[in-house]
Amino acid sequence: MSSFSHKPFCLVKSSINIDETFLVPHIVRPGETISSTGLVSRPGGKGANVSAAIALAGATVSFSGAVGKDAPWPLDELKSRHVVVDDAEILEDVPTGRAFIQIAEDGENSIVLLKGANFAKGKSTDPAQAWGDRTITHLVLQNEIPLETTIAFAQHAKSSKVGNHVTTIFNPSPMLSKEEVEKFPWSDIDVLVVNEGESLELLRVLQPSEASALEGLSEGDERSKKVLETLSGLEHFSSTAWIVLTRGGQGVMANVILSDSSDRTFFNVPPFKPKQVKDTTGAGDTFAGNLVAALMGHNVDGGEGLLESARPNSRKFVEEALKWASKAAALACEKEGAMQSIPSAEEVKPRSS
C-alpha cells in the first residue's frame, strides 16, 4: 500500500437489524395460529454485514447507525469482528430494526420488516457530527435507511467542508423508486455496485427505450456486457469512476475509468467456484465489503489504495480487487447465514483461484 499523509479509514452509514427466522410447517394464513418448530436470531442488515466484511478483510471501518436499547447485542457481533462501533447509537424509545422471517418446510418464505432504529433521527444522522475532525477516506452507502440521510452523507463527502478526497461507494439495494432515481445526486458517487436486475431497474427510469431492448435479449455474457455499457454511457454516471455489475455465479463485470484515460476500461472476471453452495445470503455484502477493503489497499498487490482519487493507476489493481472480492463472496456461499458466513482474509488467502 502506498504511503499517504493519512491512513485509510472507512465509514459505513447504513442499517443494522436482527433477523428473526421462524421455521414453520407452512406460511401462516390470515386468522391462523401455528407453532414454530424453531427460531434463530441472527445479526443482519446490509450495513452491518458490509461493515463486518470490510473489517474481516483487514481494513479499518466504523459503522454508523442505530439500535434500540431493547436489543443492542448486534453491535457486540460487529465488535467481535473488529468493527469500530463508536459511531453507533443506542436509542431509548425505538426498537432495534428486525426482519421477521417465516421459512416453510417446502422452502417458501415470508418476511415482515420493522424499520425501527434504522429510520430514527439522532446524532448519527447528521454528517457534520459524524465526520467531526476525522479524516475519512471511504464512505459506504446502501438503501436501508432514509434516503435523505444517505444523500446528505454523499453530498457532505464531496463538499468543501471535507478537506480530503473521499471515495464514495453506493449499493442501491433495495432499489430506489422512480422518483428517487431521478432526483439522486449520482455525480457524488465514485463506485456504483449493482447486480443486473438493479441495473435494468435504473435503466427503466433513466433510459427506458434501451432497457426494453436489453430485456428482450437472452441472459448471458453478451446481455450483461450491453447492460453495463448502456449504464456506463449515461450522463448521470459520467463522473462515477467504477461501474461494477455483479452476476452471482456468473462472475463480475466492470467499466472503470483509469487515472491515465478519460475512457472506460472493461473488465470481465470469471466466477470463483465454492466447494459447495449452502446459502447465498450475504454473498453480495461480502463482495461489496471486500471490494471496499481492496480499494483501501488491502489484499491486493497493485501497490496502491484509492486515497487521493477514485481512479486507479493500473488495470492490475482493478483486476486484483475484483478477483479478491469475488473469491470472498464465493467462500461466503459455503456457510449458512449472512454475517456468520463472511470469511476473514486469512480464510480467503489460501484458497486457490
Per-residue pLDDT at 6: 73
> Quick one: which H or E segment has residue 294?
helix 283-295
pLDDT of residue 278: 84
The pLDDT of residue 166: 98
Predicted TM-score of the model (pTM):
0.94
Is 45 annotated among the ligand-binding residues? yes
Q: Does the annotation list 144 as a binding residue?
A: yes
DSSP state, 133?
T
In contact, 319 and 291? CB cutoff 8 Å: no
pLDDT at 67: 97
Q: Is 47 marked within a binding site?
A: yes
Q: How far is CA 349 from CA 212, 268, 323, in A?
A: 42, 21, 12
With CA atoms as reference, report the closest residue to 189 among 211, 148, 217, 157. Answer: 157
The single-letter DSSP state of residue 97 is: E
DSSP 240: -
User: Active-site positions?
Assistant: 285
**For the chain, domain boundaries:** 10-16+45-96+119-348
The predicted pLDDT at position 299 comes to 95
Is residue 286 within 8 Å of 262, Cβ to Cβ? no
**DSSP strand pairing (17-24 vs 38-44):** antiparallel
pLDDT one digit per residue (tens) for the chain, 353 residues: 444 567 999 999 999 999 999 999 999 999 999 999 999 999 999 999 999 999 999 999 999 999 999 999 999 999 999 999 999 999 999 999 998 999 898 888 888 889 999 999 988 899 999 999 999 999 999 999 999 999 999 999 999 999 999 999 999 999 999 999 999 999 999 999 999 999 999 999 999 999 999 999 999 999 999 999 999 999 999 999 999 999 988 999 999 999 999 899 999 999 998 888 887 878 999 999 999 999 999 999 855 688 999 999 999 999 999 999 999 999 999 888 889 999 999 999 998 65
CB 117 within 8 A of CB 68: yes
Annotated binding residue at 7? Answer: no
Q: What is the pLDDT of residue 109?
A: 84
Three cell numbers written together for 328: 470472498
Class of domain 10-16+45-96+119-348: alpha beta
**How is residue 154 written as a grid cell?**
454523499
Question: From start to end of the chain, where are the E strands?
Answer: 10-13, 17-24, 38-44, 61-64, 66-68, 89-91, 97-104, 109-114, 138-141, 167-170, 191-195, 242-246, 252-257, 264-269
Q: Is the peptide bond before 174 cis (omega within 30 degrees of 0)?
A: yes
Q: Find out whether 214 and 230 touch, Cβ atoms under 8 Å.
A: yes
Q: Is 158 annotated as a binding residue?
A: no
Scored b (16 or more CB within 10 A) or e, 260-278 reads: eeeebeebbbeebebeeee
With a CB cutoff of 8 Å and minimum separation 6, the contacts of 42 are 18, 19, 21, 337, 338, 339, 340
pLDDT value at residue 5 = 60
φ, ψ of residue 211 to 5 degrees: the values are -60, -45
**What is the structure's pLDDT at 321?**
97
- So what's the pLDDT on residue 124? 87
36: annotated binding-site residue? no
